[in-house]
Amino acid sequence: MSNHQPVRLAIFASGSGSNFEAIVHAFQTEQCHAEVALLVCDRPDAFVLKRAETLGIPSVAIRPKSFDSKEGYEQEVLNELKAASIDLIILAGYMRIVGKTLLKAYPNKLMNIHPSLLPNYPGRQGIQDAFEDGATETGVTVHIVDEGIDTGPILAQETVAIEPDDTIESLERKIHAVEHELFPKVIHTYIKKLQKEHA
């Protein structure tokens, strides 16, 4: 990663891709020395692939079931990342646990967003778990990915109140609105930090 070349981001997503789109828009409008260079998707039918096409972002859909092992799948993903000269990986609604192959290739270069105030409510049902628990607040956490599930170093958190009249749907909308604002900002800040370290 040099200061002359833009930092090249790969976004990993499994679903509709609203965070993916928010990040792409943020980096198209902000004066940041970075670009979203690749979308990696593990579900060939996911709507995020259509978003990528509309936004003109190169994408690759790789089905994990096509491989004998997680290592085989991640090695194929890694080949695509290397071919696209990716510097930093952003997980935005990617519903798989990242394994050693990718963690070893991108130490401290994998970032995730999680819909709770970690360490509370880790795992894939973060919003629902907080809601069903009767919590009065939850939020959004951006963190570096390590070998655990939602356990890596926390970069930023923002609280979201759970009001008495909230439904799970209204809470999800509030969480997503915060995610779309917070995630691009934290990525931006982290890229500046990496660039300083490499200056």
- 106: closest CA among 46, 44, 152? 152
Q: Is 63 left (phi over 0), alpha (psi -120 to 50) or beta?
A: beta
- 43: closest CA among 19, 22, 23, 13? 13
Query: Per the structure block, which two tokens stand in for 25?
Result: 């828009």
- Report the 10 Å Cβ neighbour count for 42: 18
Q: Is 48 left (phi over 0), alpha (psi -120 to 50) or beta?
A: alpha
- 77: closest CA among 59, 57, 53? 59
**What Å distances lie between residue 59 and 12, 39, 84, 139, 168, CA to CA?**
10, 4, 10, 30, 31
Catalytic residue among 4, 33, 114, 143: 114
As a whole number of angstroms, the distance between CA 146 and CA 168 comes to 29
143 is catalytic: no
Which residues, at least 6 apart from 121, have a Cβ–Cβ distance to it below 8 Å?
A: 129, 130, 133, 138
Would you please indicate which residues are annotated as catalytic (active-site) residues?
A: 114
